[in-house]
């Protein structure tokens, strides 16, 4: 009898252990060792701040001409080229769609439209709207967010999120994050990529740092979690953007960025050290840094442009050396400069001849990044690199150039000369090259809306937004949110918001 009881206990124990083991396997993210090895797939992705500011506010800066020529330059550059899969852009602000301020701020400038047409012609035919293009933040945001994504691959889902706070002038723009979900197929193998593009709060101040870190938390804790990306280890999550976080003087803030996003920077490669480089890029300083940092007259002189002047922008061989050149020896906190940026022979950051900067008081900064999520929920890269590309136009460009300040640009529209040169933005793009080994070829659809057109207003008792479009799915099946009821999960990300274009938008987490 005792033997029989012991056998029964052992049998029950074995069944319990088997169930626990099965539960652990089904709940643990899959890895390549758990399935037949699939071939490697690559991803080449770029981030680029375009310096496409508002013509009616900042004056003539060649916005139309520069942005229209960006795709051709990308195609021609050997480190970029036609095999770039995804490009996230920032500061593609015009035309501005916000209800009241658009015509004034952009003054007829259509730089983003010209960029879009040229990108499609160059092969990146899929793209998102710019952040807040419908103008849903029109009441308190006179300008859209400026971030937009282009892809060579069809966009399976897209949504956006407008940050809840901002400082100074940044409060006037609907800065936020744009998201796309794509499936790339290479040599018969497919992989899902989830990519977030953003432009964070500006200014290297404690207040600016705190605002940026709050925005990063909104990306990870609010927006990412609300989208509902599958967490079975089969998909990739990337974060890209102008983070306005300088790796040279504020490395601890870059570390904080990685910790908040639970993400990691790829390995840095290449000779170009700074994505904002006043030694090699004549547009650095035009954003107000030259004036703010006290060398506007030197900057204007270095460009050799004034009323009636024109011609290729030179970097004078006998440059002005005023002692204002920003060549630090320590980080802002007094720490050691990262060896990547340090010249051991001088103990200062690496620069060209210290008297040959277009803007002598402008800092040499690394501000633009691409990171991959290191969370076990998502597929990890086998290899990854990150490189700054000193992109120039294929041939010199000539466009109108002017110096003006704030409302003076609108009232007086000062313009005194043409400028000819090859710089396309005051930032250089960064390119990341990844390799991944997919662990599956069966990918689930995310629940809820896939874009704004999936969300529609329904007035019945309680007016609300429902997910009733063709992209509305739940548990991998297409559904109609109206039939399932307002409290159903599928309707969660269809938000009722004020706009002159519509009332319902796909805004995960942006309550």
Distance CA 252, CA 405 (A): 34
Domain boundaries, the chain: 41-285+363-436, 452-506
> Which residues, in sequence order, are bridge partners of residue 105?
none
According to DSSP, the β-strands at 189-199 and 176-186 are antiparallel
Q: Give residue-wise pLDDT tens across range 182-225.
A: 999 999 999 999 999 999 999 989 999 999 999 999 999 999 99
**pLDDT the model gives residue 311:** 57
Helix axes 206-217, 251-261, angle to 10 degrees: 20
Sheet order of strands, 383-388 included: 126-127, 148-151, 86-92, 41-52, 430-436, 383-388, 267-269
Nearest-CA neighbor of 32 among 505, 309, 435? 435
| Whether the Cβ atoms of residue 427 and residue 48 lie closer than 8 Å to each other | yes
* Angle of helix 63-76 versus helix 111-122 axis, rounded to 10: 20
Residue 370 · residue 239 · CB < 8 Å: yes
pLDDT of residue 58: 87
Q: What is the mean pLDDT of the chain?
A: 87
- CB hemisphere CA count around 449 (13 angstroms): 28
Q: What is the pLDDT of residue 104?
A: 82
Please tell me the predicted confidence (pLDDT) of residue 406: 60
Give me the pLDDT at residue 332, please: 93
What's the pLDDT band for 410 if we cut at 50, 70, 90? low
At the top level of CATH, the class of 41-285+363-436 is alpha beta
Cα–Cα distance list, 509 to 61, 138, 315, 480 (Å): 36, 19, 48, 21
Report the candidate in 232, 156, 221 with the shortest Cα–Cα distance to residue 473. Answer: 156
Is residue 30 over pLDDT 50?
no
Q: pLDDT of 382-391, one tens digit each?
A: 999 999 999 9
Least trusted range by pLDDT, from 62-76, 78-92, 178-192, 278-292 = 278-292
pLDDT of residue 297: 85
74-111 burial, b for 16+ CB within 10 Å, e for fewer?
A: bbebebbeeebbbbbbbbbbbbbbbeebbeebbbebbb
HSE at residue 212, side-chain half, CA atoms within 13 A, is: 26
pLDDT confidence band for 55 (50 / 70 / 90):
confident
Distance CA 337, CA 329 (A): 7
| Higher pLDDT among residues 29 and 224, named by residue | 224
pLDDT confidence of residue 22: 41
**Sign of the CA dihedral 295, 298, 299, 300?**
positive
Rounded average pLDDT over 475-487: 94
Residue 312 banded pLDDT, cuts 50, 70, 90:
low
pLDDT of residue 19: 47
The DSSP line for 72-139 is HHHHH-TTS-TT--EEEEEEE--S---TTTHHHHHTT--HHHHHHHHHHHHT--EE-PPTTTT-TTTT
pLDDT for 48 equals 98
Give the model confidence (pLDDT) of 367-406 as tens digits: 999 999 999 999 999 999 999 999 999 999 998 888 776 6
Tell whether the model's pLDDT for residue 28 goes beyond 50: no
Which one has a higher pLDDT value, 456 or 13? Answer: 456
> What is residue 304's predicted lDDT score, i.e. its pLDDT?
62
Answer whether residue 32 shows pLDDT above 80. no
């Amino acid at each position: 009898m005792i033997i029989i009881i012991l056998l029964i206990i052992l049998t029950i124990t074995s069944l319990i252990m088997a169930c626990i083991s099965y539960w652990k396997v089904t709940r643990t993210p899959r890895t390549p060792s758990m399935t037949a090895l699939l071939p490697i797939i690559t991803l080449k992705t770029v981030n680029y701040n375009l310096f496409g500011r508002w013509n009616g506010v900042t004056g003539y800066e060649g916005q139309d001409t520069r942005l229209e020529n960006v795709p051709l330059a990308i195609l021609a550059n050997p480190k970029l080229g036609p095999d770039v899969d995804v490009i996230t852009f920032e500061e593609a602000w015009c035309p501005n769609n916000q209800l009241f301020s658009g015509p004034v701020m952009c003054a007829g400038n259509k730089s983003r439209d010209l960029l879009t047409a040229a990108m499609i012609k160059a092969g990146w035919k899929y793209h998102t709207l710019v952040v807040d293009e419908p103008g849903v933040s029109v009441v308190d945001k006179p300008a859209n967010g400026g971030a937009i994504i282009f892809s060579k691959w069809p966009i399976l889902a897209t949504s956006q999120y407008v940050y809840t706070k901002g400082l100074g002038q940044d409060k006037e723009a609907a800065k936020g994050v744009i998201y796309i979900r794509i499936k790339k197929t290479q040599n018969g193998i497919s992989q899902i990529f989830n990519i977030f593009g953003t432009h964070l709060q500006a200014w290297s101040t404690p207040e600016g740092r705190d605002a940026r870190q709050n925005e990063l938390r909104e990306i990870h804790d609010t927006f990412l979690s609300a989208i509902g990306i599958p967490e079975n280890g089969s998909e990739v999550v990337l974060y890209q953007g102008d983070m306005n976080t300088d790796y040279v003087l504020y490395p601890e803030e870059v570390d904080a960025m990685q910790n908040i996003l639970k993400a990691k920077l790829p390995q840095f490669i290449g000779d170009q050290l700074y994505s904002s480089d006043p030694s090699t890029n004549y547009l650095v300083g035009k954003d107000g840094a030259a004036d703010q940092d006290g060398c506007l007259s030197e900057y204007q002189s270095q460009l050799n442009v004034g009323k009636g002047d024109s011609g290729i922008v030179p970097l004078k061989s006998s440059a002005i050396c005023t002692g204002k050149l920003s060549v630090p020896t320590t980080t802002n906190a007094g720490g050691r400069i990262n060896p990547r940026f340090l010249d051991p022979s001088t103990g200062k950051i690496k620069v060209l001849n210290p008297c040959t900067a277009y803007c002598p008081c402008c800092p040499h900064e690394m501000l633009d990044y691409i990171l991959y999520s290191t969370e076990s929920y998502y597929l990890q890269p086998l290899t990854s690199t990150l490189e700054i590309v000193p992109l120039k136009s294929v041939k010199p460009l000539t466009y109108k150039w002017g110096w003006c300040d704030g409302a003076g640009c609108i009232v007086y529209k000062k313009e005194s000369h043409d400028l000819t040169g090859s710089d396309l933005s005051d930032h250089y793009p960064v390119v990341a090259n990844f390799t991944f080994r997919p662990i599956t070829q069966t990918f689930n659809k995310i629940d809820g809306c896939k874009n704004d057109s999936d969300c529609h207003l329904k007035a019945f008792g309680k007016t609300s937004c429902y997910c009733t479009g063709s992209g509305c799915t739940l548990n991998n099946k297409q559904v109609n949110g109206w039939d399932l009821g307002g409290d159903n999960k599928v309707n969660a990300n269809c938000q009722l918001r004020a706009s002159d274009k519509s009332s319902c938008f796909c805004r995960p987490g942006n309550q």
